């Protein structure tokens, strides 16, 4: 495995960052998770733009242009002979001192990993996930905007610990008002009477690129998609529920907090959107090899 580290390609065991890097010391940095399918990087431009938007928000200067960064992602895929895989693109504040002041970090650092991934076994796509509602609330967007895909994922990790203790597959996180926000690592959708609902950005969610693609696919297929606030009771009484994310793609939920969603099986709308998404990624993407 070859890792791109600050413009150099180094073997995995030599890809190291300083203990004084503020990405390590304070979670001061941003990242993107990206997928490659069939020799193409899915929605590369959107991912790169979101990375640069996150960086701009925290006043982090990436030492490459967006076009250059996109090309380095493709080259990392080539070096690792990636045809289908997962890409992690990370930018840190860089080396500084033990204080918080980002001005003490003169140069940002970046690295890119391209490898394989399987978040869930295929059986989960056929049977659906067991999900629990987390006691940990999603970060308030007025304190830390989830639009910034930062290196500090402790909020999500605390939710994931609850999932593990409950022996579940995923966790549903609510916002400070008790409305549904998102899962610990994915966006959420529910289906009721043929209408698809998903929380709005103001609910404290990351505007997922897979989420946006699924909304496009659903509307193109003639479904009504509404972005609105709803509570956990709406999920309990939904006909269907599914999650979306770069690693998870589109995956059904069979139960929440011990309550079956619908008949406890992946529904027709969910299955249709899974099929549509898998078809989309066959041709929607930037070719790795020109």
Please identify every residue annotated as catalytic. Answer: 149
3-state SS, one letter per residue, for 208-276: CHHHHHHHHHHHHCCCEEEECCCCHHHHHCCCEEEEEECCCEEEEEEEECCEECCCCCCCHHHHHHHHH
Q: Could you give phi then psi for residue 249, rounded to 5 degrees? A: 65, -120
> What b/e readout covers 252-279, taking b as 16+ CB neighbours within 10 angstroms?
bbbbbeeeebbeebbbebbbebbebbee
């Amino acid at each position: 495995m070859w890792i791109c580290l600050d413009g150099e390609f180094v073997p995995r065991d030599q890809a190291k960052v300083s203990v004084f890097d503020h990405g390590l010391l304070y979670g001061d940095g941003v990242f993107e998770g990206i997928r490659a399918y069939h020799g193409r990087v899915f929605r590369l431009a959107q991912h790169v733009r979101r990375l640069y938007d996150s960086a701009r928000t925290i006043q982090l200067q990436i030492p490459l242009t967006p076009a250059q960064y996109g090309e380095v992602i493709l080259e990392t895929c080539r070096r690792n002979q990636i045809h289908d895989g997962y890409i992690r693109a990370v930018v840190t504040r860089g080396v500084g001192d033990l204080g918080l002041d980002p001005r003490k970090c003169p140069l940002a650092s970046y690295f890119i990993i391209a490898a394989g991934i399987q978040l869930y076994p295929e059986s989960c796509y056929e049977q659906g996930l067991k999900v629990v509602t987390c006691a940990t609330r999603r970060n308030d967007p007025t304190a830390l905007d989830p639009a910034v895909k930062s290196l500090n994922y402790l909020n999500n990790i605390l939710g994931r610990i609850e999932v593990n203790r409950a022996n579940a597959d995923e966790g549903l996180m609510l916002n400070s008002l008790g409305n549904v926000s998102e899962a610990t690592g994915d966006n959420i959708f529910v289906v009721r009477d043929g209408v698809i609902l998903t929380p709005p950005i103001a609910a404290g969610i990351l505007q997922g690129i897979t989420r946006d693609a699924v909304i496009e696919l659903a509307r193109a297929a003639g479904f009504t998609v509404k972005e609105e606030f709803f509570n956990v009771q709406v999920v309990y009484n939904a006909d269907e529920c599914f999650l979306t994310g770069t690693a998870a793609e589109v995956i059904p939920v069979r139960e929440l907090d011990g309550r079956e969603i619908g008949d406890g099986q992946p529904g027709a709308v969910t299955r249709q959107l899974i099929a549509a998404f898998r078809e989309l990624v066959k041709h929607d993407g930037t070719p790795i090899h020109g």
